[in-house]
Amino acid sequence: MAIGCGGLLFSLYSKMIKHYFICHHCNESFTKKVQFQHHIHQENHDIDIEKCNKYKNILLIPGMGHIDINNTKALFKLMWQPCIKNLAILLGWKSPKALTLCEHCTDHHKAMQILDILFESLTSELLKAFVKYCNEKKQQPDVINLYAFAKIQPKHYQFLL
């Protein structure tokens, strides 16, 4: 059975799936793997622990919020030095502690807003220069010309693509 959920429910269900066991010999339930291992050893049961997991047939599917948070954190790690750190300083994250909190996405709502600002700005920066270039060359702006334009630009423009 597949269950889609996110946030607190995902965390709670993950723990429940991981730690809830039933002994097939005596039908006793256990909420901790250590307790179940102790029971197996004490009762001399020959049991495969993984087959005794009560909820082994449940597949948790993380919700979009969970995926968005993970993607945001990955993008922050990837782009922190090239551009997000400078943007964070411009947005008021000035002290070393504040920058560390920003870098680790402790407030995922603010982190996603920072990414929105960054991507909107990067797109605007690239496209304005590209359209100006096309107008000067009397070319029609299109994808092929965009990639050709980016190749002749400084590396920070190439980073945008």
Domain locations in the chain as residue ranges = 2-62, 64-160
Q: Which two tokens stand for residue 152?
A: 């002749």
If you ran DSSP here, which 8-state letter would residue 29 be given?
E
pTM listed for this prediction: 0.53
Q: What is the pLDDT of residues 7-61, one digit of tens each?
A: 677 778 888 888 898 988 888 888 888 888 898 888 888 888 888 888 888 888 8
Q: What is the pLDDT of residues 100-131, one digit of tens each?
A: 999 999 998 899 899 999 988 888 888 888 89
- CA proximity to 159, closest of 72, 71, 73, 84: 84
Determine whether 72 is exposed, middle or buried from the number of CB atoms within 10 Å of its CB (0-12, 13-18, 19+). Answer: middle
Q: Which two tokens stand for residue 3?
A: 């269950």
Q: What is the pLDDT of residues 135-148, one digit of tens each?
A: 998 988 888 888 88
The segment with the largest mean pLDDT, out of 66-70, 124-128, 156-160, is 124-128
Which residues have C-beta within 8 Å of that of residue 16, sequence separation ≥ 6? 55
Count the neighbouring beta carbons within 10 Å of the beta carbon of residue 82: 11
Average pLDDT (74-85) is: 91
Q: How many whole angstroms separate alpha carbon 118 and alpha carbon 111?
A: 10
